[in-house]
Amino acid sequence: MRKLLLGLAIAAATAGCATMTSPTGRTQYVGAVSQAQLDQMGEQAFAEAKAKTPQSKDSKQVAYVRCVVDALVRELPAGSGQGTAWDTAVFVNDEPNAFALPGGKVGVYTGIFKAAENQDQLAAVIGHEIGHVIAHHHDERITRQLAAQGLLGVAGEMAGARYGEGAANTTTQLGGMAAQGFFLLPNSRAQESEADVVGQQLMAKAGFDPRAAVDLWQNMIGAGGSRPPQWLSTHPDPNARIGELGSRANGLLPTYEQARAAGRKPRCG
């Protein structure tokens, strides 16, 4: 009976979902929400960020970010936002971070300029974040979270029916921790590694030096503080990440050189 209920829960949680292959060959479960809904969520999240966080009034700084974003977006695959004027914002926040959202939104915190010392390093940051969008990571994350919530609800009901309400609550709480640690977060690390791949390829095609991604992460490590254990982190180990970025950069040099020869030579600052 428990196996049957679990099977029904899985079927209900994944109903309406689809599979697709990610840029690095992973099988992705997507489709819990439509692209129009994703774009709307991105628009709303971006508007909330603008309402809550002051934006930079430094016109040169804003133009610098806009220039890097435009150069990267021009190289996006067809159907992934190419030709769309992506909305950008520079937020006054000391955290060295950036993000991109479905619907063509890019936000950069002023703190990132402490780590990204030139346009190539900034392109590594923004290319990575855009990589999350074009690799459908937001769709994948939402689909997985909805599936996890559906399974936890059924598990809690099963425990409650047999052992009472207290057991149901405990099962749901412990199940949430297990899903976070072994179901959702490991996927997040896979997405982070994948966004590195996509972003580094994108920056090379746009004429930014892919080797700058290595320098960026060395700077990030220098600026960073304590880190959680890797198995509870949503990001890959920094040293392993740098090694992978360095190896990949060598293979991307011909792409970078071809882009430069074709006239793609960003002059953002």
Instruction: Report d(CA 98, CA 182) in Å as an integer.
Output: 26
Q: Is 165 a catalytic residue?
A: no
pTM: 0.79
C-alpha 1/C-alpha 122 separation (Å) is 54
The residue assigned the tokens 């959702």 is 184
pLDDT at 188: 75
Residue 23: the pLDDT is 84
Q: Are 70 and 108 in contact (CB under 8 A)?
A: no
Q: How far is CA 127 from CA 57, 70, 90, 106, in A?
A: 24, 11, 16, 10
pLDDT, tens digit (0-9, with 9 covering 90-100), for 169-186? 443 444 444 444 443 444
Of 43, 48, 95, 129, the active-site residue reads 129
pLDDT in tens, 113-158: 999 999 999 999 999 999 999 998 888 887 777 665 554 444 444 4
